[in-house]
Amino acid sequence: MPEGRGHYACPITSLTLLVSLTRVTLDILQELDPPQPAHWRHQLLLLYKKGVYLSHGKMLFWVLGLLILCGFLWTRKGKLKIADITDKYIFITGCDSGFGNLAARTFDKKGFHVIAACLTESGSTALKAETSERLRTVLLDVTDPENVKRTAQWVKNQVGEKGLWGLINNAGVPGVLAPTDWLTLEDYREPIEVNLFGLISVTLNMLPLVKKAQGRVINVSSVGGRLAIVGGGYTPSKYAVEGFNDSLRRDMKAFGVHVSCIEPGLFKTNLADPVQATEKKLAIWKQLSPDIKQQYGEGYIEKSLDKLKGNKSYANTDLSPVVECMDHALTSVFPKTHYAAGKDAKIFWIPLSHMPAVLQDFLLLKQKAELANPKAV
């Protein structure tokens, strides 16, 4: 054997023997267990997929069950009510008519100690005649700061150490509802003074009493606080109410005070009297410049009224949905932050407020009368 080969002879021989033994073993195993047809992989894949589908089906079943349970618990949660309302005081503004008047009568029947603020003596007298001796009225102009302060002190003497469980800011006025270029700054002032500054003034003066009772503040806004449906000061005032409501809600959480906002749709109340609205429009029309009259046309107001006639069927005549929202906000253990009141608010106005601006403009502009000559100078 040549020099140098003897050192590797044994390992090479061993390796050759190992390869031979491996081949023999494989041949024996093949005889004992012949290879399966090629489609066995496909069958395994089908079994795997079936298992996955079964697993997904079970998962979807449990998710569906969980959603149903959550829905049940959420509904049940909303129905939990506070106890002993007969020892609780609530203060409501704007009780001469409309939502405030119905709310005062409803909550008086339920057993609350209702303090109803009316703007007029006649409104106060009529409300007293329809309610129990437990209900008390007070004359209040929410735009008069001194009147608001005196009223707050009087309410404090009435409620004593119990504090004020509920404050319902309901007072409001529509102001002039007309195209923006018809109006002056003074036309915007009244609805903003009443609907916004009046609401804030009452809230700030009553808030210590509400904090004492760890009670509720309920601000009546409007779908006009979500969508600019008409021109004038009403919509800006309600947009601002929404902002004040949200900041107040967050500030009051630490004190255990719940703050809710009610957004009614279109309701037939004295606030939305079409006769008064038309008279205000006509009075402004007479004072407009000839250029603006030429742009809109002499028959514009009549055409606007004709457009509105088609929408009268959508106006809610039953005021109770708004009061039901107030009731839930006052008596639920878990009151909502926002309430949409009225079918039109729930089905149309509130959903539309979340839509793109181009869709909002298209639908709302369809409700407006066509101008005679908008390019006239």
Angle at 77 between CA 71 and CA 79, to 5 degrees: 110
Looking at residue 10, its pLDDT comes to: 41
Looking at residue 6, its pLDDT comes to: 41
Residues with catalytic annotation?
234
Which residues are CB-neighbours of 55 under 8 A, at least 6 positions away?
none
Nearest to 104 by CA among 78, 140, 77, 65: 140
Looking at residue 292, its pLDDT comes to: 93
Looking at residue 346, its pLDDT comes to: 95
Nearest to 230 by CA among 162, 277, 167: 277
Domains present along the chain, CATH in parentheses: 89-269+316-360 (3.40.50.720)
Contacts 24+ apart (CB under 8 A), 291-300: 291/376, 291/377, 292/181, 292/182, 294/372, 294/373, 294/376, 295/371, 295/372, 295/373, 295/374, 295/375, 295/376, 296/179, 296/371, 296/372, 297/371, 297/372, 297/373, 298/372, 299/372, 300/369, 300/371, 300/372
The C-alpha atoms of residue 81 and residue 75 are separated, in whole angstroms, by 12
**pTM for this predicted structure:** 0.79
Looking at residue 189, its pLDDT comes to: 96
Looking at residue 276, its pLDDT comes to: 80
Looking at residue 367, its pLDDT comes to: 85
Per-residue pLDDT of the chain (377 residues; tens, 9 = 90+): 444 444 434 444 444 544 455 454 445 445 544 554 555 556 656 655 556 555 656 667 677 777 777 766 666 666 789 988 999 999 999 999 999 999 999 999 999 999 999 999 999 999 999 999 999 999 999 999 999 999 999 999 999 999 999 999 999 999 999 999 999 999 999 999 999 999 999 999 999 999 999 999 999 999 999 999 989 999 999 999 999 999 999 999 999 999 999 999 999 877 767 778 788 888 999 999 999 999 999 889 888 877 766 555 567 889 999 999 999 999 999 999 999 999 999 999 999 999 999 999 999 998 888 998 888 86
Looking at residue 145, its pLDDT comes to: 97
Looking at residue 32, its pLDDT comes to: 47
Looking at residue 42, its pLDDT comes to: 63
